[in-house]
Amino acid sequence: MITVDRLTVSYGSFTAVDDVSFVAQPGRVTGFLGPNGAGKSTTMRVMVGLTPPTSGQVTIGGLRYHDIPNPGRHVGSLLDASAQHAGRTGREILTIGAQTMGLPKSRVDEMLALVGLTDAEAKRRLRNYSLGMKQRLGIAHALLGDPSVLILDEPANGLDPAGIRWMRGLLKGYADRGGTVLLSSHLLHEVEQIADEMILIGHGRIVAQGDKKSLLAHGDGAATTLVTSLDNAALGAALTGGGHAVEPLGEGLKVQATPEEVGRAALAAGVVLTDLRSGGAGLEDLFLELTSATAREAVPGVTPTPTGGIPA
């Protein structure tokens, strides 16, 4: 378990992290989301002892990172996939890690196989790795000591679609076995698919937290559903009559309603559905609205306001 308790990190007059508190629980994937520069990486650097807090603290299993004996056996982290000696091979990097943690050499082969790096790739020097290969090696290093906690900063960077799907399955399986996963990203869609809980941060402060359903329940944005049927006109009329906003989209409709509400309307109207799925835009719109004050690009239709958002 990771406990962040009133954490503040300041650099002179600039406050990168401002009185942040949250808990990442065992058996769950916690998504740590926010625009670039929101304070995610700084918070994670404090977790693993790389940045001292100005006030507050972070504990892992009740201990500060520096107080954990042989921390690599308890906490695996990936904060920068390029932060290894560029002249060493992938196998050498993992071997040094294994020796430092007191692990058998066989663990290196296990991790290389787990992340899909071949023997030939393991013999290449890090400077010759693609970003995706560096990410895979970084994940292997984080998992090397069979830790109970994983702290990952933007682990999907550089991975192709197959690699991203592989990573999702790996992290979800890790959490299902009781591990604690804190996953930082500015890519809402990727984290949303595996996160049990999401923490949204902007300007160094938490603006919202909870699972997808609870976030939308507290937000102003409605859930969005994409639907296709054998009679879109009749379905659209039934949904509009029920007070839901409907607009054509491709071969179907985009509806401001939950999939359950759309399904009930279709049943009442006697319309056969051929496709029904969550549009996901409700959460994305909420995220953009809550973090708009820190985004580099203006968000259409959103007027930036002082960070406050939803009470955590």
Residue 157 has which token pair? 């960077």
Q: How far apart are CA 44 and CA 58, in angstroms?
A: 9
Q: Average model confidence (pLDDT) for the chain?
A: 88
Q: Rounded CA gap, 28 and 168, in Å?
A: 13
Q: What pLDDT does residue 117 have?
A: 95
- Higher pLDDT pick, 35 / 12: 12
Give the tens place of pLDDT for each residue, 112-123. 999 999 999 999
Task: Write down the residue that tokens 């001292």 correspond to.
Answer: 52
- Per-residue pLDDT, averaged over 213-237, amounts to 81
List the one residue out of 303, 298, 302, 258 whose CA is nearest residue 281.
258
Kindly tell me if the per-residue pLDDT of 17 is higher than 90. yes
User: pLDDT at position 192, please?
Assistant: 79
pLDDT in tens, 57-78: 999 999 999 999 999 999 999 9
CA terminus-to-terminus distance, the chain = 19
Residues contacting 94, CB < 8 A, separation 6+: 108, 111, 112, 122, 137, 140, 141, 144
Over 80: is that where the pLDDT of 18 sits? yes
User: Please, what are the domains in the chain?
Assistant: 2-210 (3.40.50.300), 225-279 (no CATH)
What is the model's pTM? 0.76
Residue 288 has pLDDT above 90, yes or no: no
**Exposed, middle or buried by CB within 10 Å (0-12, 13-18, 19+), for 146?**
middle
The residue-averaged pLDDT of 236-260 equals 93
Please say whether the beta carbons of 111 and 98 come within 8 A. no
d(CA 295, CA 207): 14
Over residues 85-102, the mean pLDDT reads 95
Amino acid sitting at position 259: P
Q: Tell me which of 281 and 162 has the higher pLDDT.
A: 162
